Amino acid sequence: MTAKPRREPRDPLARRQEKHVPPGARSRAMQAMSARAATGRFVLQTCVNCQTVTYPPRDVCPKCWNELVWADQVRGATVLSETTIRVTTDLYFRDHLPWRMGKVALDAGPVALAHLHQDLKPGDPAEMHLLLDKRGNAALFATPSGGAFDMSDPQWREFVVSVRDSTVLVSDGSSAVGRAIVSALRAAGAGSIIAGSPQPSRAPQSSDAFASIEGVRSVRLDLTDARSITECLTGIGGPLDIVVNTARFMRSGGITAGRLLDQKRALEIGVVGFMRLAQASAPLLRTRRASAFVDILSIHALAAEAGFAGYSAAEAARLSLVQSFRHEMRAEGVRVVSVFAGPIDDEDHQSVPLPKLAPARLAQGVIEAIEKGREQLCVGDAAQDAMDRWFDDPALYIREKNA
């Protein structure tokens, strides 16, 4: 286990340093850009008629007044000018002065203001990223071109959450997905991992699994039991940076043929359990400089899989709850991430035909989503295919999924 920095004893009466978030007002067009940035796309508006690429977001093409559509763009750019802001009236940026930004000429066409990585200077080629700021709005960030760059850049770290040295709670660490995520977090350098285990019957197995792994602690965590959540969080005894919610209850069965008890349990863990966990962990997450709540969602949240009716309903309900939770947490500077997966090659999907997503691949996606500052990520072809179909024609997708 990597040496954790020693925590100062906390004075309960001390005035905590307040956390601010960046300015939030945006036009509707900019909101549309942010919605795409949330999924990791690098987009700008393109005119349907003259193909002019435009920025900042407009409602009409400035060259020919025809419609604009969002289109993926090349990420290259050249830095034109720079400044280091040392005075601001905004509380968030005041907390982070001096702040370096500049103007870049995008290879896609327009010029843009952008946050500048510390290693960039005027004349340098750059690679552009469309990141979400602490309030969830898209912002352009220029890094040195050529792939690898120093990710310890303090401004970069304002846009992402670093797994390294963080304290992470995995709500169900005993499932195949949970175990894979714990392993991936370890590999990514997490400082301390708390692996929840819902059922006493599975606990010994997972405890054994993690007993030999430094920095991983198995604790009982049952999302149907508020007290177990409180005990788990209290037991962490320090800051909590990341929560990965892997808890769910998945059993096959439709409305008429399924067992009501299973459906109820799917909702109790997947929906009410999520709310309990979110409510209990939010106060811990919001005090951190950079923190995230990651929810693993089945793609069935978008459209029901009739053979898993109760489970689909639970996922759909949680998708809705996560949207509300994300909105609340944006004001607190906490990133709420939805990681979508199709069928997973695990104990819950034994009867589901291939292709199925390897838990390790899903775990890799979780790390990526956190470290790249996403709000939404589809891991694997099945999830991406479903999301594409859903975007393209939701009514058709609902029909064809159960055809």
Partner 1 sequence: MRDRRAYDDVALCAPITVPYQRLSTQSAHWWAGKAMRALADATGLGPSEFDGFCFASFSAAPDTAVGMVQHLGLSPRWLDHIPTGGASGVMALRRAARAVQCGDAEIVACVAADTNQLDSHRRLLTAFSRFSQDAVYPYGFGGPNATFALITDQYMRTYGVERADFGKLCVAQRSNARSNPLALLRDPLTLDQYLRARAISDPVHLFDCVMPCAGAEAFIVTTPEVARRLNLPHARIMATIERHNAYPEDATQLRGGWAVDADELWSMAGIGASDIDTLQVYDDYPVIVAMQIEDLGFCPKGRVAEFIRATSFEIGGDLPLNTNGGQLSAGQAGAAGGFQNVTEGLRQVLRMPLGAQVPAAEIALVSGFGLVAYDRGICSAAAILGACR
| Contacts to partner 1 by CB under 8 A | 22-23, 25-27, 29-30, 55-57, 62, 80-90, 92-93, 99-103, 105, 111-115, 122, 133, 137, 139
Beta strands per DSSP E along 133-198: 138-144, 167-170, 192-197
With respect to partner 1, which residue has the nearer C-beta, 86 or 227? 86
Look at residues 261, 268, 173, 175 and name the one whose alpha carbon lies nearest to residue 225.
268
The C-alpha R_g of the chain, in whole angstroms, comes to 22
C-alpha span between 181 and 195 (Å, rounded): 10
**Residue closer to partner 1 (CB basis): 29 or 203:** 29
Question: Could you give the CA distance from residue 161 to residue 373 in angstroms, rounded to a whole number?
Answer: 6
Instruction: Classify 231 as helix, strand or coil.
Output: helix
CB atoms within 10 A of CB 264: 13
Sorted by sequence, the CB contacts under 8 Å of residue 402 that are 6+ apart come out as 304, 305, 306
Dihedrals phi, psi of 197, to nearest 5 degrees: -140, 120
Neighbours of 377 (CB within 10 A): 23
Q: Measured between alpha carbons, how far apart are the two ends of the chain, in Å?
A: 51
Torsion sign over Cα 49, 54, 58, 62: negative
Beta strands at 53-54 and 43-47: parallel, antiparallel or unpaired: antiparallel
Nearer to partner 1, 90 or 225 (CB): 90
Contact between 390 and 384 (Cβ < 8 Å): no
Of 137 and 197, nearer to partner 1 (C-beta) is 137
Separation CA 293–CA 276 (nearest Å): 13
Task: Quote the CA–CA distance of 300 and 285 in Å, as a whole number.
Answer: 28
Residue 62 Cβ vs partner 1, minimum distance, rounded to whole Å: 8
Task: Find out whether 368 and 281 touch, Cβ atoms under 8 Å.
Answer: no
Provide, rounded to whole angstroms, the least separation between the CB of residue 92 and partner 1: 8
One-letter amino acid identity for 241?
A: D
